Structures are given as C-alpha cells and as structure tokens.
Structure 1
C-alpha cells in the first residue's frame, strides 16, 4: 500500500505500554499500525484479552459474555437471509461459541484459531479448530465469517485472495470490523480501545472496506451495525483515558455514537456481507 501519511500515535494499554503509529493509506482509506512487532503473539498474552477466554469474573466480562450470547443468534439470523444451511467456516473462532450456535442451526461447522488456549477451550466444547486458515484444504464453503478478525491479518489483500479461493462461487463472506470514523473513535482519539495496537494491524472505514474487497473481486450485498460495540468500546476507552471505568460516561458516549450513526451511518462497528463479483473482477 502506497501514499502513506502519519495519522495518530496510540499506546498498547493491554500488555506492553508501548506506543505505535497509525499511518493513513489514501488509496483505500485504511490505517496501518507500525511498527509490527517481531514477536506479535506476545502482545496477545494477557488474561484480559477477552475473546480468548470465557471469563465472567467482573462486571465488564459478565456484560461482554451476555451480549456475546445474544449476538450469536442475531448473527445467525443475518446469515440465514442468504444461506440457511451448508458449510460454514469461522476464521478466528476464539473459543468456538459462534460455531456452536451455527451447528444448532444445522450448519456443518469448520473453524480456525491461532491461539492455543482458545483452541483448547473450543475442543472442550466439542468444536475442533485448526490453527491457520491458510492451511485449509477444503474449498467451496457456503459461508465464511470473520468476526473482528480482518484487523489482525498482516496482509489483507493476500487474506482476501485466500478467502475468495475458499468460498463457493455462490457463497457469502461476512466481515465485522471496527470503524475509525465513528463518533466514539473521534471522541476518544488515541485512547479509542478499538485501535488496540499492535494487535490490530489495520483499521478500516466503510469506504476502506468496500474498496479493498471490490479490488479483491467481491461485491457488497448489505451492511449491519453492531450497536452494542459502541458501549463496550467506550467503556474500555474510558479506562484507557482516565484509568478507571466510568460506566455512566461510557454509556452516554456509546449511546451518542449510535444516535449520530443513525444519520451518518458511521457506527462503531459494522458487519459487511459480500459475495464474489459476478463481473469477474
């Protein structure tokens, strides 16, 4: 990616306390985190990295797990607008809960997860995951999902090409990512928790996602907001900014973000539904 300029500097609040820079890619309206640490897995080594656990030890974790469980059904209902059965692949499946829901809805489930601890937890739930989606041999998945995973992939264009290879010609690709043009991102700036450097290697706007996937041979079918994300991200961002969780202020800013997004469409996170372009681009 060319045409870069410095956009923002952010701190790793989760593990190292180190500072990283975000650079703007003009051609795709995407931000890139630099430098990328050589030992990137180290930056995931925290008990507070909630997508790799099923922890419910504090209020924030309990709230996260409750919302996650509710959203599993919502996500499946969105997918069933396009596919009601078939092979579903969840890339970055965490502890396997989305795939458990998909199996209950009569999908044949497959998943990948690079984190060994999360894979072990999934296995105990009778969900078998492989480490890397690049190693998959099965083709023609009817649905492929990446729930807040694309931002972790080092080479997005190469990742999209691999996803295209794995997806059936009539399949549906589902991508959920944070939106750095949302109100909560603009409000919290370098403290916005969804920047999550250096684990999030890229950061996307709506234009950025659409242009990236169009260039990769996909066409957009629809978009859905993840309205709970603004509240959760605001809660984490408040702690980044002030050192303590201000639930009232976080709720206010999360609500304000969603209200503004009703007009601007710039929600904190969005889900994009793609299919392969029929024009063969």
Structure 2
C-alpha cells in the first residue's frame, strides 16, 4: 500500500479546484501520536515540489498562555489549567490567520513551546508571504463535533469521575467545541481523518512523542524537566479520551478521506467520501 503522504497528496491534488480563490484548506485530524505533524511536514514538502505554495499550521500553535489557562482554571474549572481540550486555544486567532493567508501580504504564524508550556515569543514567529495555495492544518480534534448533552453525565475515566464529578469541565469543553471551533472548522475545504485502531494505543503513541522530544531537546542542551514520564502521559491522555473516542465512533463517515492506521501508524485501508 502507498504511504500516508502519497495517499493524501494524490487526493488533495485531485480535489484542487482549477478556479479556486484563496488557499485550499485541509484539516488533518488524528489522535495524539498518530503522526499528524510528521505527515503534515512531509506532505507540505511534496506539495511545494509540485509548485504549490503550502503552509502548515497546528492546533497546538494556538494554545492559550499558561496565565490565560490559569484564569480559566479559577473561573470555570481547575482542569483547564492543562492545555489540550477545546477552550484552551485561541480559535479567534486561528480564524484570522486562515483569512489572512488568502490575502496579499505577509503573515506571521504563531507557535507553542511545549517544553516551556508557553507560546513562542512573537518576535520568533515564522513569516510567510501570502497568498498561499494550500494550508495544511493538523490537530487532534480538528473537525470534531460536540456530543449530545445526555452523553456527558457518565464519566469515561477516573479523571472525569474523581476530578469532574459534577461534569462542569466536560460540559464547558463540549460547549466550546459546539461554538467557535465549529465556525473555524467550517473554513476547511477538505477534512482528513488518520484513524487510530482504537484509543488504547494513544498513551503509547503519546509516550513515544515525549521521548522523541526529550532526545531532541537534550541534544540541543535544553531543559527537559517539563516533559512527561509514563505516569504523567497516562493521566494526560485522559483529558483527551472522551472526544477521541467520540471521533473514532462518529467521524469516519464524514471526512473527505479516511486513512485507517495500524498500531505502527502504517496505513491499512483508505476510504474516500465524495
């Protein structure tokens, strides 16, 4: 079977409208550790090789500052101190950036330093000349839809049971997903799902990500104290479990392209929805 990058690049090129105005925006959804970032980077290189000016963005680039999340933690629920779920991103900024990438000029793209748990300083943001042809936007809940309120009552894991017994946190997360996030996702021309074989693999995938980042930072002589060990990762993925399981159950009939992955992140089947 072709690689994930080959599958995506061929399908994207096939869908590009010849008379398009503005960039063709592709949303790439996949659970933590599914290879979204690596796939997106290689896909962008392939698009550039075809003569298509391509920009990559991540939902992670839009994380709120630690201070803003602490404010949410105080005013809404303590679990919002942890980045990741809907409500912890600057979605308004994402909408502005997508719009700006279709206009003539220069756009500065935000970034987030996970080791410091803070956004990168604006002076260090990368700048791209616009307009561009393609925007590849990846994120773990890209294109996700909110759950019905009746499904929020029962906890899905120990985190929800013990730390969100009144369902305040998960209801607010769901409300955020139902609001501005849907307006943002509506700007995408194409949705891709990199479908994990199940939620059970997510913790292992996420741990591999942490170890890769640890090696990279260590080689650069940077601080790695903010990175997670296995126990921390197992707790961390609980924050994502509800929506990830919902995506795996609800989303596969909707995306323009679904690439099913095995536990080694290799594509095992492809479903095209037109």
TM-score, normalisation: structure 1? 0.31
Please state which structure has a larger fraction of its residues in helix. 2
Please state which structure has a larger fraction of its residues in strand. 1
TM-score, normalisation: structure 2? 0.32
